[in-house]
Chain A
Amino acid sequence: MIVFEKPKALADVPLHYCPGCTHGIIHRLVAEVIDELGIEGRTVGVAPVGCSVFAYNYFNCDMIEAAHGRAPAVATGVKRSLPENVVFTYQGDGDLAAIGTAETVHAAARGENITIIFVNNAIYGMTGGQMAPTTLPGQVTQTSPYGRNPEQVGLPVKVCELLSNVDGATYLERVAVNNVKNVKAAKKAIKKAFQNQLEGKGFSLVEVLSTCPTNWGLKPDKALEWLEENMIPYYPLGVYKDKTAEKEAE
């Protein structure tokens, strides 16, 4: 009996992510969901600019690499062209909540029938650890060397809270991947976000709190603790919007 194997939707190649980075877990969850729903053959993924820029090499479905922040617009173009296909984006916090804010908000406002996996690790990882829109107050980064000072640069953007005020959005949930219980909850949310699309229920976004041991300057286990102690209090986990029942009735 096979008790553990690689999801079919995940390519059998080494990932480039740093040791201890939780992108690998999130990739796996997305791949498991694609397998379980049996949708690999009709799924098109959109990779962002950022740490997950090479995601197009890691998923076995057709993939498109988007410009920085534009993944929701690219996904819109794909979904409007191929309405029977499943379209998802996989984006980081700089990509989705800074340079791509307009694309994110308006894809939600249109109720675009796509799935967004939003990985929030409170930092720009790929470029070496700069302040992100989600960097916590006081957090030290390369471009906030004295700690993020809210008086100068304002407070972090809370994406689920922000989008919960956008009428067009259907499903918004924030999860984390810092422990087994949370990983299981994260998978459930990701699966729902894909199922919503299959059922034509509209815009679904799952925000996944993730770690960046390298740029946080922490060992992997300490990074998981830091996530729990600092990120979860600032970014509470939970469902921020769920209109799926309402959409069922329509």
Chain B
Amino acid sequence: MAEKVLMKGNEALAEAAIMAGCRHYFGYPITPQTEVAAYMAKRMPLIGGTFLQAESEIAAINMVYGAAAAGKRTMTSSSSPGIALKSEGISYLAGSDLPALIINVQRGGPGLGGIQPSQSDYFQATKSAGHGDFHLVVLAPASVQEMVNLTFKGFDLADKYRMPVMLLSDGTMGQMMEPVSLDMGEIKEYDKSGWAACGTNCEREHNVVNSLFIQPDELERYNFERYERYAKIEAEEVMYDEYMMDDAEICIVAYGVAARVSQNAIDKARAQGIKVGMIRPITLWPFPKAVLNAAADKVKAFISVELSMGQMIEDIELATRCKKPVLLCNRVGGMIPTTEDVLNSINEANSVGGDK
């Protein structure tokens, strides 16, 4: 069995990125993702990698664009307001079919907001990470171990589907310490010679990395092709975790830190005889629609536990075709729902659903 080490979430993900073969990190300082950059600044020079502090988030994501275009595994990390600045570059990555990993250690918003944990970038990450028709794969870790595993997985998915992938974390996941195993297994290599701009060596036609297609039918064709890939991802790459769903009459839907609080609440509710379980999306895009839709035929109500103003509710309602009511249990602005908050919602769902 692999040896476990005690690590902070942000540092664990940084080490996982290195183990996944990432040697090119570009970032700009912002709380609460600082440890990622600090870790990279220490480690990269020792292993022949690049750590570069850019002049802005905009420059950092465009450096990532350059490194990705050159065929390298590359990443950036930031937090909510910084991700907003990166959205231009994220759209260009998607439009040019470039793989990259983008970490968002979310903080409260809107505007400058606060620096405490939040999940209020859900819409931004899953619906509109930039202009134009595109998606990111969005991965939501709920433990330090998952910060590690999903970083590794994120690089692989990015290369596999030639697209940017976002790890949607939050200040809690980033700051907390847990024992983790860094044994990630083999890195799968992908052949990038067909598209990477790394020099023709005068032996092939030139590669052009580009998102400009001035002929509308050509641009349409690229968009259609991209969405065929997205359909494949929706069919094959959905990840979620189920907790006590076998006999559940109430289903909590929560990700990240909200899922951890929810799990405690479920244990307490079960002790009171309430049949409640949880479906925890690990991929927020693709969203685990099928399992939720199936659950909607069994449970009497859903509760979306979030650190946002109910941004995930729409996805739950869409996935379940509004078959059952979806309650919201939330705190925002850097506040986190307590076990009691979730318990109260469970009791409410028990009575609301019971009236049906």
Contact = CB atoms under 8 A, between A and B. Distances in A.
A80 B202 CA distance: 22
Interface stretch (A68-76, A116-124, A175-183, A189-197): A68-76
Nearest to B66: A77
Contacts of A80: 24, 50, 52, 63, 66-67
Given A74-B62, A77-B63, A78-B67, A67 B89 contact: yes
A73 B63 contact: yes
A63 B208 contact: yes
A43 interface: yes
Contact of A65 (B74, B88, B89, B210): B210
A82 B208 contact: no
A164 interface: no
Interface stretch (B53-61, B111-119, B151-159): B53-61
B122 interface: no
B89 A70 contact: yes
Contact of A73 (B24, B66, B72, B199): B66
Given A41-B202, A44-B70, A73-B54, A63 B63 contact: no
A217 B209 CA distance: 34
B181 interface: no
Interface string B206-236: 1111111000000000000000000000000
Contacts of B58: 70, 73, 102-103
Interface in A61-103: 61-67, 70, 73-82, 85, 102-103
Contacts of B196: 62
The prevalent SS among residues of A at the interface is: helix
Given A67-B62, A67-B92, A102 B56 contact: yes
B62 A64 contact: no
B198 A74 contact: no
B255 interface: no
B197 interface: yes
Nearest to A77: B66
Contact of B69 (A42, A43, A59, A77): A77
B199 A64 contact: no
B287 interface: no
Contacts of B64: 77
B311 interface: no
A32 interface: no
Contacts, number: 134
A106 B199 contact: no
A56 interface: yes
Contacts of A75: 66
B200 interface: yes
Tell me which of B58, B60, B69, B198 has the highest count of chain A C-beta atoms within 10 A of its own C-beta.
B69
Contacts of B212: 53-54, 65
Interface size class of B (residues with CB under 8 A): 35 or more
B54 to A, nearest CB: 7
Contact of A78 (B60, B69, B201): B69
Contacts of A53: 212
A54 B213 CA distance: 10
Contacts of B206: 59-63
Contacts of B88: 67
B3 interface: no
B189 interface: no
Contacts of B55: 102-103, 105-106
B96 interface: yes
A40 interface: yes
A85 B199 contact: yes
B203 A41 contact: yes
Contacts of B209: 63-65
A82 to B, nearest CB: 5
B67 A81 contact: yes
B198 A64 contact: no
B74 to A, nearest CB: 7
Contacts of A105: 55
Nearest to A85: B199
B103 to A, nearest CB: 17
A66 B208 CA distance: 11
A74 B70 CA distance: 10
Interface in B80-124: 88-89, 92, 96
Given A62-B208, A64-B209, A67-B92, A73 B200 contact: no
In this complex, the member of B89, B92, B206, B208 whose beta carbon has the largest number of chain A beta carbons within 10 angstroms is B206
B302 interface: no
A146 to B, nearest CB: 33
Given A81-B72, A102-B59, A103-B59, A63 B197 contact: yes
A175 B285 CA distance: 51
Nearest to A74: B66
Interface string B37-57: 000000000000010101110
Given A41-B200, A78-B70, A81-B72, 9 more contacts: A60-B206, A64-B65, A67-B62, A70-B62, A73-B59, A77-B24, A77-B68, A102-B56, A106-B59
Interface of B: 24, 26, 50, 52, 54-56, 58-60, 62-72, 74, 88-89, 92, 96, 196-203, 206-212
Closest 7 CB pairs of A and B: A77-B66, A73-B62, A77-B63, A62-B197, A41-B202, A106-B55, A74-B66
13 contacts: A46-B66, A54-B212, A60-B200, A62-B208, A64-B69, A66-B65, A67-B88, A70-B89, A73-B63, A77-B26, A80-B50, A81-B50, A81-B66
